[in-house]
Amino acid sequence: MLAFTLRRVLQAIGVMLAVGVIAFAMFRFAGDPVNQMVSIDTSAAQRAEIRHSLGLDDPVLVQFGRYFINALQFKFGVSYQFRLPVSSLLAERMPATLELAIVATILAMVAGILMGVYSALRRDTILARLFQAISLIGISLPTFLIGILLIYLFAVTLGWLPSFGRGEVVKLGWWSTGLLTVSGWKAIIMPAITLGLFQMTLIMRLVRAEMLEVLRTDYIRFARARGLTTRAIHFGHALKNTLVPVITVAGLQFGSVIAFSIITETVFQWPGMGLLFVQAVQNVDIPIMAAYLLMVSLIFVTINLVVDILYTVVDPRLRSTVGRAA
Amino acid sequence: MTQPVLSVRNLEVEFVTRRATLRAVNGVSFDIAKGEVLGVVGESGAGKSVTGLAVIGLIDPPGRISAGEIELSGSRIDHLPPEEIRRVRGKRIGMIFQDPLTSLNPLYRIGDQIVETIRTHTNLSESAARRRAIDLLAEVGIPAPEKRIDGYPHEFSGGMRQRVVIALAICAEPELIIADEPTTALDVSVQAQIIALIKRLGRDHGTAVMLVTHDMGVIAETCDRVAVMYSGRIAEIGPVQEVVRNPLHPYAKGLMGAIPTLAGEDKRLVQIPGSMPRLSAIPPGCPFNPRCAFAFDRCRVERPEPIRQGTQSVACHLFEPAKETAA
């Protein structure tokens, strides 16, 4: 088990190294950063001095090493646009994005699993068919369209919910949360639905398909032959077996939720990292883009790692094969 | 005569499909007495397993019991509401399936699965149920049961898993055990142990056993009586020695002739020409008539009813007493 975890951690570090190279390469492809910092009438000598002070005249490998060591300490340089350290910009925006992603994922998991189980167990009911239809819409409609439709309905027409922003936020140390105020909750409803809808339909369809599969297995038939209650069979034996692939997908999807919150955040002007990234792209703010790339890949790699380890918690068969291999 | 544990009368099971209604079991009647082992043999698709599933109430739509009666110790159990038949399953009828590798839920410890079943059917506390589970595992011959009880199914071999399945089937002291090909998926050496175990449990607890198999060796070794099924009907039923040594029905004769002997006699095994008709194309009259060497006109139009011949009962026009002699 330990060896397995260690091996996975090493693989994760390898992936992060590769991403680091790409992030660093972005700086070199996007032209001379000094030109973007200084005004047109700066003299060549001054430019050289700036270049030297930033260490940009060092060999590439040295620069990469420095970038990497700084990145390890979460120092990603200074934003061209805001003239502030990227790390503090990201840290300031991160709570908004994480809160949105977490609320959206919880929403997607709870609603997706419930709808999936229902439509598997009561396959032929009208409600189950309705869920199937909704899931088709959720899978095929693009996120921004859903967001705009929601805004039109609930913010413009009905006026129930705010169309943009986070509402009032409360500071908890460095973390700012919108989940402690009514306006914060009101503000998060629509973005969370927009962001989570795709995941929800995905999970629903997955749960339904897996559940139908599991209900056909011999051990479910044997569980029925043992006279267990329908409840115990469906929610004990069948659901637990269904959850193994669901955990994988939901876990991996959490990374995409954060990465794709870019669109939702833009639609709702949600002050998170996604919005920051979009602004950075518009302004060719390389340090922010590079840092965002690194951070999103760190999130993906971490989630992959956690999912791998979670597998073994849910499925004892993996535990022993992993143990044997180690 | 004492009341049989299981009494099946004129059972019919149908599967309603879009094209046609297929009758998988067609007028089957038999009894199993307390402590008796009834073997049910026949080719694949003869309706053996469906009969077993019908008794325990596990025929799923589109299948249904369309006619007949099933009585367990004198009370009817077909057409019980789902919740009541559920209480019968596992409690009064235990079932063992063919493949022990897939019968157990892979995500739960075997102890938890046994305790869950015990507590579903009795009022035992968690710890009492666990003690009973250990006793059961010991009874079915699992070494070091107090340790193995916390193992997961994948940590057991096929034979050991089938023992666990048997422990699960008997954990509420059922009156009847239905074993559906319990040894088919196992190694030959393990088969004998499992059969011996089922036989011993039936004897020790006075449990009636319905043993579905296509292995005549298992039948001859284990059963008190045997029913030979063909195309959804019982062709012949009787004490195992009689049916094996002196089969009456032409199909049963063919079946017994197809058993290889150890004597190594230099003769070819008898084959029955042709194959069993599909459910959608059962011929009129006796379903065996197209393959039967003794078939005459009547076999092609009239369905034979079971006729008593000593201790045996055979569904064949060849044994019709009155009409044949009169003609």
3-state secondary structure string, B83-152? HHHHHHECCCEEEECCCHHHHCCCCCCHHHHHHHHHHHHCCCCHHHHHHHHHHHHHHCCCCCHHHHCCCC
pLDDT value at position A326? 36
pLDDT value at position B210? 92
Asked if residue B231 lies in contact with residue B46, where contact means CB atoms within 8 angstroms, the answer is yes
Distance from CA of B140 to the nearest CA of A (A): 17
* Distance from C-alpha of A30 to C-alpha of A35, rounded to nearest angstrom: 11
Q: What is the ipTM of this complex?
A: 0.83
Give a yes or no: residue A286 inside a domain: yes
Domains of chain A: total? 1
CB of B90 within 8 Å of any CB in chain A?
Answer: yes
Strand partners, B289: none
Whether residue A323 has pLDDT greater than 60: no
pLDDT value at position A285? 80
CB of B55 within 8 Å of any CB in chain A?
Answer: no
Residues of A in contact with B58 (CB under 8 A): 221, 224-225
Residues of B in contact with A217 (CB under 8 A): 102
pLDDT, average across residues A7-26: 86
pLDDT, average across residues B289-306: 84
Residues of A in contact with B179 (CB under 8 A): none
pLDDT value at position B222? 85
pLDDT value at position A30? 67
Candidates A217, A227, A241; nearest CB to B121: A227
* Contact between B86 and A219 using a beta-carbon 8 Å cutoff: no
Task: Sort B54 into a burial class: Cβ within 10 Å, 0-12 / 13-18 / 19+.
Answer: buried
Report the percent of chain A where pLDDT is more than 70.
95
The enclosing domain of A95 has a CATH number of 1.10.3720.10
The enclosing domain of B27 has a CATH number of 3.40.50.300
Mutation for testing the A interface, residue in B60, B84, B103, B105 having most A CBs under 10 Å: B105
pLDDT value at position B134? 92
Q: How far, in Å, are A62, A63, A100 from residue A66 at the CA level?
A: 6, 5, 34
Q: Whole-number mean pLDDT of chain B?
A: 85
Q: Which residue of A has its CA nearest to B121?
A: A227
Whether residue A319 has pLDDT greater than 80: no
Give a yes or no: residue B298 inside a domain: no
* Contact between B97 and A218 using a beta-carbon 8 Å cutoff: yes
Q: How confident is the model at residue A94 (pLDDT cuts 50, 70, 90)?
A: confident
Whether residue B325 has pLDDT greater than 70: no
Give a yes or no: residue A228 inside a domain: yes
Give a yes or no: residue A322 inside a domain: no
Give a yes or no: residue A251 inside a domain: yes
Give a yes or no: residue A164 inside a domain: yes
Domains of chain B: total? 1
- Structural domain boundaries enclosing B51: 6-92+172-251
Candidates B94, B99, B121; nearest CB to A218: B99
Q: What are phi and psi of A311, to 5 degrees?
A: -45, -50
DSSP state of B36: -
Distance from CA of A236 to the nearest CA of B (A): 10
Give a yes or no: residue B153 inside a domain: no
* Distance from C-alpha of B14 to C-alpha of B64, rounded to nearest angstrom: 5
pLDDT value at position A299? 85
Q: Which residue of A has its CA nearest to B87?
A: A227
* Distance from C-alpha of B55 to C-alpha of B65, rounded to nearest angstrom: 10
pLDDT value at position B311? 85
Tens digit of pLDDT for each residue in B48-94? 888 988 898 888 888 888 888 898 888 888 888 888 888 888 889 99
* Distance from C-alpha of B102 to C-alpha of A219, rounded to nearest angstrom: 6
pLDDT value at position A325? 41
pLDDT value at position B324? 47
Whether residue A243 has pLDDT greater than 70: yes
Q: Which residue of A has its CA nearest to B152?
A: A316
Whether residue B322 has pLDDT greater than 60: no
Tens digit of pLDDT for each residue in A46-60? 888 877 777 777 787
Tens digit of pLDDT for each residue in B170-208? 888 889 999 988 888 788 888 888 888 888 888 888 899
Give a yes or no: residue B114 inside a domain: no
pLDDT value at position B321? 65
pLDDT, average across residues A129-155: 85
Q: Which residue of A has its CA nearest to B169?
A: A226
Q: Which residue of B has its CA nearest to A222?
A: B103
pLDDT, average across residues B283-311: 84
Give a yes or no: residue A23 inside a domain: no
* Contact between A315 and B107 using a beta-carbon 8 Å cutoff: yes
pLDDT value at position B38? 92
Residue with tokens 């035992």: B124
pLDDT value at position A306? 84
Give a yes or no: residue B269 inside a domain: no
CB of B165 within 8 Å of any CB in chain A?
Answer: yes
- Structural domain boundaries enclosing A257: 87-292
* Contact between A226 and B108 using a beta-carbon 8 Å cutoff: no
* Contact between B107 and A229 using a beta-carbon 8 Å cutoff: no
* Distance from C-alpha of A48 to C-alpha of B281, rounded to nearest angstrom: 94
Q: Which two tokens stand for residue A84?
A: 């502030």
Give a yes or no: residue B18 inside a domain: yes
Candidates B108, B117, B154; nearest CB to A226: B117
pLDDT, average across residues A253-280: 85
Report the percent of chain B where pLDDT is more than 90.
10
Q: Which residue of B has its CA nearest to A316?
A: B107
Choice among A87-96, B255-264, B279-288 with the minimum mean pLDDT: B255-264
pLDDT, average across residues A86-111: 88
Q: Whole-number mean pLDDT of chain A?
A: 82
Distance from CA of B70 to the nearest CA of A (A): 17
* Distance from C-alpha of B26 to C-alpha of A302, rounded to nearest angstrom: 61
Q: Which two tokens stand for residue B168?
A: 């699960």
